[in-house]
């Protein structure tokens, strides 16, 4: 299909320009302690050498697999048979449906080596991410921050404005901007709107960050804590990198390379192979026990665990790789935070009628309720295309199919008269709204939990609101396996 050539500068009216460096959000990291071993009288489970891992998160699977690889006896107490089900492909009526894309950064300590070991090869990376607005595809400036092409197509007056603003940021905060360690405390207290304007300048924020954040949470960038920006898919870019992309002929030292991120279509493959390897470990036993109902002190210095669908367990320093919304109530700590809905449709149609979308595409048009689009898996038969379409949280269940199809057309990703069908719709509670209020609520609950003195290691969402990213879960799982072992 052909793409309409339009003026790329569509006005965005949703972002307010707010002053940077206004710390208000509490620093949760100061509440989170290191889970170092503590002396106590070990219960019999400790003397038997068995280790207990609770949860079906990626962190739980990584830890159980690492312990199993070392020959340590492991009981993985999972909520369901479908381990890490939200990350796995699904099979429906001859189709393979890929899950909505999720990012796994490979450049964190140990993550790339771990992923290569699970896949058995050097992982393919995300190298084709885009944004679409008014039917025009452009490289994603947040995921490919050094690419000069999106800026080269802008009118000179707009480029001049972007240059002036990013040079002002560099003059005030240096090449790293607010990502410099000297500004760590200030950044931790900002909203995403404050951090983005302070890091990139108002023009960049209005054009690229504001529209993206507006679809990530009610209230947009002004309601999102900068510390939780990963939940809004809005990383902060170094001012030196932006300056180099705006002036590609200017040689600038220290320009960052594009993020080394696993190709989104491989995340499900990676998790499938991890689950298969985990189940093949002779020393790993998987038990389905439902969710955690109660956690408290047990006999002999252990931790007592009760489940919704399994027998009680007393364990020595168990790894609780679950969400905070499960952990804190089980410990008797009040914790009630609003969660966003994840709304998804898998749409199929003739290949000639659907755009060949990149590995990941963010839709910036404010009026289009589509958030992201990606290849959706293996369609039913040749000459067909399957897309996975993520929608805004407010879309009602009965309207998912219609909204996804109309949204693809309105975004210019499908021909207007193309016959399209939604082959599967899904809506479920997802992560908590990434707001400053979430940081405050977690900080209070974590302090109350720590006061209980339970001997357990925490990972995934239980460890902190910013700990749910896939790469963070891999690192937590590997580190927790070493602690628990």
> Residue 321 belongs to a domain with what CATH number?
3.50.50.60
How many other CB atoms are found less than 10 A from the CB of residue 288?
16
- Across the chain, mean pLDDT equals 87
Q: What is the pLDDT of residue 238?
A: 93
Query: Domain for residue 296, yes or no?
Result: yes
pLDDT band, very low/low/confident/very high, at 49 (cuts 50, 70, 90): confident
Above 90 in pLDDT, residue 163?
yes
What is the pLDDT confidence band of residue 288, given thresholds at 50, 70 and 90?
Answer: very high
Residue 327 within any structural domain of the chain? yes
Q: Are residues 222 and 147 in the same domain?
A: yes
User: Is residue 46's pLDDT more than 70?
Assistant: no
- Give the full edge-to-edge strand order of the sheet including 360-363: 136-139, 129-133, 360-363, 370-375, 384-391, 339-350, 421-432
Q: What is the spatial order of strands in the sheet that 292-297 belongs to?
A: 292-297, 303-307, 313-315
Q: How far apart are CA 240 and CA 251, in angstroms?
A: 10
Query: What is the pLDDT, as a whole number, of residue 30?
Result: 33
In a domain, 155, yes or no: yes
- Of 42-46, 123-127, 429-433, which gets the smallest average pLDDT? 42-46
In a domain, 255, yes or no: no
Domain that holds residue 150: 141-246
pLDDT of res. 121 = 93
Is 109 a residue whose pLDDT tops 90?
Answer: no
Lowest mean pLDDT among 15-24, 160-169, 206-215: 15-24
The rounded distance, in Å, linking the Cα atoms of 396 and 132 is: 24
The whole-number average pLDDT for the span 9-15 is 29
pLDDT at position 423 is 94
Residue that is last in its domain, among 213, 246, 279: 246
Q: With bands split at pLDDT 50, 70 and 90, how would you rate the model's confidence at 10? A: very low
151-165, 231-245, 249-263: range with lowest mean pLDDT: 249-263
Residues 277 and 213 in one domain: no
Domain match, 171 and 281 both: no
**Is 117 part of any domain?**
yes
pLDDT, greater one: 429 or 64: 64
Q: Quote the strand ranges of 335-460, DSSP E.
A: 339-350, 360-363, 370-375, 377-378, 384-391, 421-432, 457-459
Predicted confidence at residue 258, as pLDDT, reads 59
| Predicted pLDDT of residue 81 | 84
Question: pLDDT tens digits for 309-362?
Answer: 999 999 999 999 999 999 999 999 999 999 999 999 999 999 999 988 999 999
**In what order do the strands lie in the sheet containing 74-78?**
284-288, 74-78, 51-54, 319-321, 457-459
Q: Do residue 149 and residue 240 come from a single domain?
A: yes
**Is there a single domain that holds both residue 145 and residue 242?**
yes
pLDDT digits (tens, 9 = 90+) for 220-244: 999 999 999 998 899 999 999 999 9
Whether the per-residue pLDDT at 21 is higher than 70: the answer is: no
The answer, yes or no, to whether residue 256 has pLDDT greater than 70, is: no
Choose among 378, 380, 362, 359: nearest CA to 370: 362
Residue 44: pLDDT band (50, 70, 90) is very low
Helices (H), 395-453: 400-410, 436-451
Q: Are residues 346 and 299 in the same domain?
A: no
Mean pLDDT of the 426-455 span: 95
Residues 6+ apart with CB under 8 A from 144: 129, 258
Asked whether residue 194 falls in the same domain as residue 313, the answer is no
- On whether both 441 and 426 belong to a single domain, the answer is no
């Amino acid at each position: 299909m052909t793409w309409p050539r339009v003026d790329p500068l569509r006005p965005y009216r949703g972002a307010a320009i707010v002053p940077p460096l206004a710390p208000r959000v509490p620093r949760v990291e100061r509440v989170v302690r290191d889970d170092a071993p503590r002396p106590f009288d070990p219960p019999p489970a400790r003397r038997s050498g068995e280790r207990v891992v609770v949860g079906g998160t990626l962190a739980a699977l990584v830890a159980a697999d690492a312990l199993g690889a070392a020959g340590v006896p492991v009981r993985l107490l999972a909520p369901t048979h479908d381990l890490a089900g939200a990350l796995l492909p699904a099979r429906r009526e001859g189709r393979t449906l890929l899950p909505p894309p999720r990012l796994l950064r490979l450049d964190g300590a140990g993550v790339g080596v771990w992923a290569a070991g699970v896949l058995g090869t050097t992982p393919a990376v995300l190298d084709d991410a885009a944004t679409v607005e008014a039917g025009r595809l452009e490289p994603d400036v947040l995921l490919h921050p050094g690419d000069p092409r999106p800026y080269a197509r802008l009118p000179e007056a707009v480029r001049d404005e972007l240059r002036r603003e990013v040079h002002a940021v560099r003059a005030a905060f240096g090449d790293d901007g607010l990502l410099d360690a000297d500004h760590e405390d200030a950044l931790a207290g900002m909203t995403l709107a404050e951090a983005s304007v302070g890091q990139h300048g108002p023009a960049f924020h209005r054009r690229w960050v504001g529209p993206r954040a507006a679809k990530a949470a009610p209230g947009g960038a002004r309601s999102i804590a900068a510390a939780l920006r990963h939940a809004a898919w809005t990383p902060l870019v170094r001012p030196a990198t932006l300056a180099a992309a705006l002036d590609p002929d200017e040689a600038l030292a220290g320009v960052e390379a594009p993020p080394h991120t696993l190709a989104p279509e491989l995340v499900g493959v990676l998790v499938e192979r991890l689950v298969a390897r985990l189940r093949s470990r002779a020393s790993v036993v998987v038990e389905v026990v439902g969710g955690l109902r109660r956690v408290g002190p047990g006999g002999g210095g252990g931790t007592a665990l009760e489940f919704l669908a399994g027998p009680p367990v007393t364990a020595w320093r168990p790894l609780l790789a679950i969400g905070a919304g499960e952990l804190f109530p089980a410990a008797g700590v009040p914790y009630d935070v609003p969660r966003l809905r994840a709304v998804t449709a898998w749409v199929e149609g003739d290949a000639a009628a659907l755009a060949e979308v990149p590995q990941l595409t963010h839709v910036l048009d404010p009026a289009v309720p589509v958030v992201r689009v990606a290849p959706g898996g293996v369609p039913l038969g040749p000459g067909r295309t399957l897309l996975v379409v993520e929608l805004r949280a407010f879309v009602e269940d009965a309207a998912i199919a219609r909204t996804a199809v109309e949204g693809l057309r309105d975004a210019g990703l499908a021909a207007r008269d193309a016959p399209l069908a939604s082959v599967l719709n899904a809506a479920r509670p997802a992560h908590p709204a990434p707001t400053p209020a979430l940081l405050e609520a977690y900080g209070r609950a974590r302090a109350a939990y720590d006061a209980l003195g339970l001997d357990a290691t925490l990972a995934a969402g239980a460890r902190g609101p910013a700990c749910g990213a896939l790469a963070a879960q891999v690192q937590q799982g590997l580190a927790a396996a070493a602690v628990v072992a």
